[in-house]
Amino acid sequence: MGLVDIRKGGKPCIWIHCASVGEVLLVKTLVKSMEKEFNDLDIVLSTNTNTGWSVAKKCFDDKKIFYFPLDLSWVVSKVLHAIQPLCVILVELEIWPNFLINTAKMRIPVVLLNARISERSLKWYRVLRKLSKEFFEGLTREENVFCAKTRIDAARLRDLGIPGSQVCISGNMKFDNLVTDVPEDTKKRLLTLFEIDKGDRVIVCGSTHEGEEIVLLRIFKHLRAKIKQPRLIIAPRHIERVNEIVKLIESFSFRCVRKTSLDKGEKIGEQKEETVVLVDTMGELQTTYSIADCVFVGKSLIPLGGQNMLEPAGLARPVIVGPHTFNFAEETRLLKEAEAIAIVQDEPALMDKMIYLLEHPAEAKEMGERAQSVVIKQTGATERNIQVLRKIFLKERTVSV
């Protein structure tokens, strides 16, 4: 409702809007680069969700963090006057009609970074364009810039009616935030905590969703008869599901040990192959991926669009996903073209691929290295976006003077 304190201080301000957690994490490298490049600017951030707000407070504790205003003209106007931004940066697809109309009225340039637009969204914005001439004029005003993730996104933006001179392809900043190496001492601590020996073959299943754990446990049940010293680690996407996953694991006659229990001193002991480690903590999936011999990335066996397969790819881990990765279509395409990801259609195919990768460590290693190479080659979007912002800030300061 626009309950935002008036920004204090005389510095010019850049307002970055991130819808939720993913976008907040996406701009971490960007904000660091901006602070270095434009050290006389005040940077504020907004978000739409409670979790996004919480993560933003942790990542940017020295910044003003607030909720994005409801897209009502008087609310938006109130917040814009309170913040007085030199420029607004919208991350990915955050096109709000009244917000754009009001930034146009106040002559505040808007930059869409990591801009993406699906075919479905394109149809919706075409309808909105016909319904509101004022919105379309606010969207396409010459001060606005659209830094697209891919050529397809750029083409769709132009198809929407945005002049080609305002659209550029800067790439995906997600690649710039990816870690490509975890310190050896960090990995050793985790291997010791999980009691993983040299001969153990570790399967890490990350960001799993309801309906996937039961498949993975069935596979693990059969896989133990074919593979020596298998170890299974499950890291569900939603921590609140931990209790139901514990019951599911025990229903397969496996012992379940939570990571939080291991952190408190509990030991796995001799029955390691009958024990499933459940990662019930936040923010540790990346380091857990680093000890894997084989990775399955969840939300892909069920038709929900997949989760981020780039994290294990950046760490040179061999990655398997199910058939449903439409939320990460471009990332999947890049990895597939490099033969750096295994896409399976069903449970039998997933089991076969896991067994193959565990039985052929040299090929698994090469697959992981190809994946890491893809990630490294795609870096640089943040710097390209900084170059765009540099031109805008220079122009705006010249105008204000």
Q: What does each C-alpha distance from 328 to 125, 158, 307, 323, 331 come to in angstroms?
A: 22, 22, 7, 11, 5
Positive or negative, the Cα torsion across 242, 312, 263, 272?
positive
51: which 2 tokens? 């979790």
CA-based radius of gyration for the chain: 23
Tell me which residues are annotated as active site: 23
DSSP 8-state secondary structure symbol assigned to residue 278: E
- Report the alpha-carbon distance of residue 276 to residue 278 in Å, rounded: 6
Provide the 3-class DSSP secondary structure of residue 62: coil
C-alpha distance across the termini of the chain, in Å: 33
Provide the 3-class DSSP secondary structure of residue 312: helix
What 144-147 contacts at long range (C-beta under 8 Å, 24+ apart), as own/partner pairs, is 144/109, 144/110, 144/111, 144/112, 145/109, 145/110, 145/111, 145/112, 145/388, 145/392, 146/111, 146/112, 146/115, 147/111, 147/112, 147/113, 147/114, 147/115, 147/384, 147/385, 147/388
- Helical axes 133-140 vs 97-105, angle rounded to 10°: 60
- Report the alpha-carbon distance of residue 65 to residue 53 in Å, rounded: 7
CA dihedral 33, 35, 38, 42 (to 10 degrees): 140
- Report the alpha-carbon distance of residue 190 to residue 125 in Å, rounded: 48
- Report the alpha-carbon distance of residue 274 to residue 194 in Å, rounded: 13
269: which 2 tokens? 């002991």
